[in-house]
């Protein structure tokens, strides 16, 4: 069972496990999840009081894991690094030459005049992702045209750009915004995000009717969401 407390501007969600023990223990895991192991007889109020007391420590641990993970996942833009495209893994190969990016076999080959110019490599690769994301997302949206027709919905425009910490959104003007990094994930995960946002054309909230509609067009969504969030393509 998951519970919540607020600490300053942070929201701490924790799961409680009851054990035959006398003291309460709090664990913060590298994925920032919080687990409370409580004595069998502890009341929710007692547990919450303990969690609140330890909140500064919990928040500090979460920040620590967060920064560590982010730097571990951050590419250095050198040959041999893993790059993702449509859920498949490719290796980055940096070569000297005029600026260009292309996918060949298991490689994402980038040529730049100066192989040490990592910011140029990064910019080239991101532009390549953006370009391919645009083509792919348009193709996927077209695939769900039947859904739009059936539900009487219409997309004003599809916008692909790098978003922070979210995969997509749907604006009040019926624009669908998709994170260009989503192109790194498998196609069925891409479809889940697109259908989710298309459902927001009808319902601008996450109420029961929204979930009904999502279930109708993407019954596998919980599995796909989990896969998307656990994938190595997330950084
Ligand atoms: Zn949503």
pLDDT tens-digit readout, 51-60: 999 998 898 8
- Residue 78 C-alpha to ligand 1 middle, in angstroms? 36
The pair of structure tokens assigned to 129 is 């992702």
pLDDT class of 119 with cuts at 50, 70, 90: very high
User: Rounded to whole angstroms, how far apart are CA atoms 107 and 89?
Assistant: 9
**Does residue 100 have a pLDDT over 80?**
yes
Strands annotated E in 20-60: 25-28, 34-39
- Residue 167 C-alpha to ligand 1 middle, in angstroms? 10
- Residue 165 C-alpha to ligand 1 middle, in angstroms? 13
- Residue 155 C-alpha to ligand 1 middle, in angstroms? 16
- Residue 192 C-alpha to ligand 1 middle, in angstroms? 11
Q: Cβ(203)–Cβ(209) under 8 Å?
A: yes
Task: Give per-residue pLDDT as tens, 123-150.
Answer: 999 999 999 999 999 999 999 999 999 9
Query: Using only C-alpha atoms, what is the Rg of the chain?
Result: 22
- Residue 92 C-alpha to ligand 1 middle, in angstroms? 33
Reported pTM: 0.69
Q: Cβ(76)–Cβ(84) under 8 Å?
A: no
Residue 124: per-residue pLDDT: 97
- Residue 126 C-alpha to ligand 1 middle, in angstroms? 25
- Residue 197 C-alpha to ligand 1 middle, in angstroms? 6
- Residue 142 C-alpha to ligand 1 middle, in angstroms? 20
Task: Report helix, strand or coil for 93.
Answer: strand
- Residue 193 C-alpha to ligand 1 middle, in angstroms? 9
**Does residue 73 have a pLDDT over 70?**
no
Residue extents of the structural domains in the chain: 2-73, 82-230
- Residue 195 C-alpha to ligand 1 middle, in angstroms? 10
- Residue 130 C-alpha to ligand 1 middle, in angstroms? 22
- Residue 75 C-alpha to ligand 1 middle, in angstroms? 29
- Residue 196 C-alpha to ligand 1 middle, in angstroms? 6
Residue the block writes with tokens 């995000």: 193
Please give the CATH topology (third level) of the domain spanning 82-230: Zincin-like (3.30.2010)
For residue 183, the 8-state DSSP code is G
User: Rounded to whole angstroms, how far apart are CA atoms 225 and 122?
Assistant: 27
Task: Give per-residue pLDDT as tens, 152-169.
Answer: 999 999 999 988 888 999
pLDDT class of 219 with cuts at 50, 70, 90: very high
Q: String of b and e for 28-56 (b: at least 16 CB within 10 Å)?
A: beeebebebbbeeebeeeebbebbeebbe
């Amino acid at each position: 069972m998951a519970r919540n407390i607020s600490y300053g501007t942070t929201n701490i969600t924790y799961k409680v496990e009851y054990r035959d023990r006398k003291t309460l223990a709090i664990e913060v895991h590298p994925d920032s999840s919080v687990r409370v192991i409580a004595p069998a007889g502890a009341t929710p109020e007692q547990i919450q009081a303990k969690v609140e007391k330890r909140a500064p420590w919990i928040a500090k641990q979460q920040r620590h894991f967060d920064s560590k993970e982010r730097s571990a996942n951050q590419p250095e833009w050198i040959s041999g690094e893993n790059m993702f495209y449509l859920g498949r893994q490719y290796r980055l190969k940096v070569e000297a030459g005029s600026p260009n990016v292309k996918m060949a076999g298991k490689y994402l080959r980038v040529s730049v005049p100066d192989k040490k110019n990592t910011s140029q490599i990064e910019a080239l690769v991101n532009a390549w992702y953006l370009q391919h994301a645009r083509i792919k997302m348009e193709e996927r949206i077209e695939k769900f045209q039947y859904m739009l027709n059936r539900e009487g919905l219409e997309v004003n425009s599809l916008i692909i750009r790098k978003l922070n910490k979210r995969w997509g959104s749907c604006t009040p003007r019926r624009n669908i915004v998709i994170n260009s990094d989503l192109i790194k994930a498998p196609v069925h995960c891409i479809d889940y995000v697109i259908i989710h946002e298309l459902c927001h054309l009808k319902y601008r909230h996450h109420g029961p009717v929204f979930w009904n509609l999502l279930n109708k067009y993407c019954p596998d969504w919980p599995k796909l969401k989990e896969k998307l969030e656990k994938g190595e393509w997330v950084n």
